């Protein structure tokens, strides 16, 4: 099998997700079991000071995870993945997921690739998520 080889400094992505929709948030609520109304009910989200519904942080993390699995091209290659949620994502936001390889080590013919990752709101450059991942190639 001819797997991709990675080097320090290699870019991952970008994966550009279409605008987040309220329907998507309702569907994600059902899929994740997170029915907090801040994600689906504008009036409630406004009452608690959010100005309107916000996307689930884990949905934005999932977008970054999709970018990582696209980059590896191998099911099960993602070994570690953590993020920090920094900014809220709202309906209409276009999310750009990217990464950069920070370390590569070979172990028994397998590359272990470390990378820093992020998700940014395309319209205004807000960084919604930062994180780190390790995958094999």
Backbone angles phi, psi at 73, to 5 degrees: 70, 10
**H or E segment and range at residue 16:** strand 11-17
Task: Tell me whether residue 126 is exposed, middle or buried, using C-beta atoms within 10 angstroms of its C-beta: 0 to 12, 13 to 18, 19 or more.
Answer: middle
* Per-residue pLDDT tens digits for 43-60: 999 999 999 999 999 999
- What is the average pLDDT value for the chain, to the nearest integer? 96
Q: Is the pLDDT of residue 1 over 50?
A: no
Question: Hunting for tokens 């870019």 — which residue is that?
Answer: 11
- Percent of the chain at pLDDT exceeding 90: 93
pLDDT at 132: 98
d(CA 117, CA 130): 6
Q: Strand 78-85 vs strand 11-17: parallel, antiparallel, or unpaired?
A: unpaired
Q: Is the pLDDT of residue 105 over 70?
A: yes
Selection from 101, 93, 103, 104 nearest residue 117 by Cα: 101
Q: Where along the chain do its domains lie?
A: 1-19+56-137, 21-54
Topology of domain 1-19+56-137, CATH: Thiol Ester Dehydrase; Chain A (3.10.129)
């Amino acid at each position: 099998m001819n797997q991709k080889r990675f080097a320090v400094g290699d870019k991952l992505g970008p994966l550009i997700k279409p605008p987040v929709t309220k329907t998507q948030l309702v569907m994600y609520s059902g899929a994740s079991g997170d029915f907090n109304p801040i994600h689906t009910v504008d009036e409630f989200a406004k009452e608690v000071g959010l100005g309107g519904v916000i996307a689930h942080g884990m949905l934005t993390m999932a977008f970054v995870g999709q970018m990582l699995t696209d980059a590896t091209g191998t099911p099960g290659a993602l070994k570690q993945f953590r993020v920090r949620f920094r900014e809220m994502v709202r309906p209409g936001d276009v999310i750009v997921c990217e990464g950069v390889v920070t370390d590569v080590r070979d172990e028994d013919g397998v590359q272990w690739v470390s990378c820093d990752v992020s998700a940014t709101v395309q319209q205004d450059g807000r960084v919604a998520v930062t994180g780190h991942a390790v995958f094999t190639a």
